[in-house]
Amino acid sequence: MTVGVKETRRRNLLLLAGDKYFRYYAKRGRIVKALEKLLREAPEDPYGAEAFGAVVAQVALHALEVLRRAVIKARRDKLVYREFGVVYDRDLVGALDVARSVAARSSGLYASLTYLPSSLNAPEYLLLRKLVKRSVKTAKKLAELLESSGQATGEINNKIREVKRLSAPLPRGVTWLTCRDAGYVDWLRHACVSHRVLRGLLRGVGVARRAKEGLDVVFLDWRLYEIYIYSLLYETMKELDYAECDTRLCRGGDLCFERGTQRVCILFNKPHESSIVTSYDGEPAERLRGRPDAMIHGGQKIVVEAKFSSEPQYITLGRFKAMAYVYEYGADAGLLVFPDIEDKKTDLEDEATLEIYRYMQQHDGTATVKLRDGRKIHLIRVDPAEGSPSEADKKAKTRLTKILTKYVAEKQDEKEENCDVDRILTQ
């Protein structure tokens, strides 16, 4: 596979899933962690911010929102936080400190031990003000850059104004404190993360397989691919006329859908209580349970494994992993989703996977492996580089809908048909 195809795949993947990245993390209340995970060292020159305006705007908005909340929490702490200390006064204002009172007797003062408001000029507040000032300046430059590329920046500008207004009461001054020392105060650490992300966005965004921690904004391609598959499952369920319902009805599920009398729950990257793994050496074994990238369960159960790779060995691993999940969770079917497979020399198992892929190329990007007990493993090509982003997205949805219809639509249709037959027979 050429470098050009890999680069196109990553670029299109960012266009298709970049704006969904924060929707996924927002549902878990983990926006700060999501921002922290983006701070990596770009392995190559990042894409310019203007090239991915919608994605960059989303990241900037979330970074500014994190900064806004940090300022609000800091102002609250300044009002309610108290430090235990000594007060010298002519009257007692707390517990008497005898030793200090004796020492101050000549001045006619008592020494009292009590709780005092935190210092208005504490270094944490001074650093926060400096971070806000720098972040606002960076965000303004970013907004101008996005506006010049035709991206709407009204929301960003509104958020900038709100952050400036809220930070106005923060004290001014010079402090020795830096972000390296900010870990002990959550709101200060969050402000530091926000500042780093905004500064990284000004340089651009990158997509990589792996990258060590750094100051660039880099999306990991495999994580984007998983989130893209999650969004495709969501849109496919909507396409099949399912209405979204309260996730509390699914007992730990991440998505809940209903159509008629049938409820379908979807879990993302977490184990389920239906696992056959119970213990090892008499100890509970919850942590040993498999974590499919997605699990759909309602009338029938489906496990989904997503592999953002073109390596035959890796796709073969995914094929067997999907079968293992099917067995562990008693699923009716397994879905293995991947972009493509490189045609190169491999062992016999990998050659078998390549043979399946050659079949898929001749049969609209899907293939079905039937197991002896009647269950099936469906291999589905979902490739962001299969045409333009919109064309690739359309093909992926069509293939997923075709497969899922057999499990989450036909069963419901059969129920409705049986209900109609029962109704006729009882008339």
DSSP category for residue 213: B
Residues 87 and 177 in one domain: no
- Reading the block at residue 338, the tokens are 């991947």
214-261 pLDDT per residue, tens: 888 899 999 999 999 999 999 999 999 999 998 888 888 899 999 988
The rounded distance, in Å, linking the Cα atoms of 409 and 17 is 26
Q: How far is CA 68 from CA 65, 167, 170, 215, in A?
A: 5, 8, 13, 21
Which backbone phi and psi does 8 adopt, to 5 degrees?
-65, -40
- Reading the block at residue 125, the tokens are 């507040």
One-letter amino acid for residue 181 of the chain: D
pLDDT at 424: 30
Matching residue, tokens 């999907």: 322
Matching residue, tokens 């899907």: 366
pLDDT at 119: 57
Final residue before a domain boundary, out of 221, 248, 268: 221
Which backbone phi and psi does 247 adopt, to 5 degrees?
-65, -20
Residues 36 and 185 in one domain: yes
Determine which helix (DSSP H) or strand (DSSP E) holds 378, and give its type and residue range: strand 376-381
pLDDT at 114: 65
357-392 pLDDT per residue, tens: 999 999 999 999 999 999 999 999 999 999 999 999
Residues 139 and 177 in one domain: yes
Residues 112 and 127 in one domain: no
Give the number of domains in the chain.
3
Residues 204 and 238 in one domain: no
One-letter amino acid for residue 237 of the chain: M
Residues 292 and 418 in one domain: yes
| Average pLDDT rounded to a whole number, residues 146-159 | 84
pTM of the entire predicted model: 0.82
Residues 205 and 309 in one domain: no
Residues 272 and 403 in one domain: yes
Final residue before a domain boundary, out of 97, 117, 137: 117
Residue 171, domain extent: 3-80+121-221
Angle in degrees, 0-180, between the axes of helices 123-148 and 186-203, rounded to the nearest 10:
30
Q: Which residues contact 1 (CB under 8 A, 6 or more apart)?
A: 310, 340, 342
pLDDT at 417: 41
Residues 58 and 145 in one domain: yes
* Summary mean pLDDT of the chain: 85
Residues 190 and 281 in one domain: no
Residues 15 and 108 in one domain: no
Give yes or no for residue 104 having a pLDDT over 80.
no
Reference 51, options 14, 90, 2; nearest CA is 14
DSSP category for residue 209: S
Reference 305, options 288, 287, 289, 325; nearest CA is 325
Q: How many CB atoms lie within 10 A of CB 107?
A: 9
For the chain, the straight-line distance linking the first and the last C-alpha, in angstroms and rounded, comes to: 64
The rounded distance, in Å, linking the Cα atoms of 83 and 99 is 21
Residues 309 and 168 in one domain: no
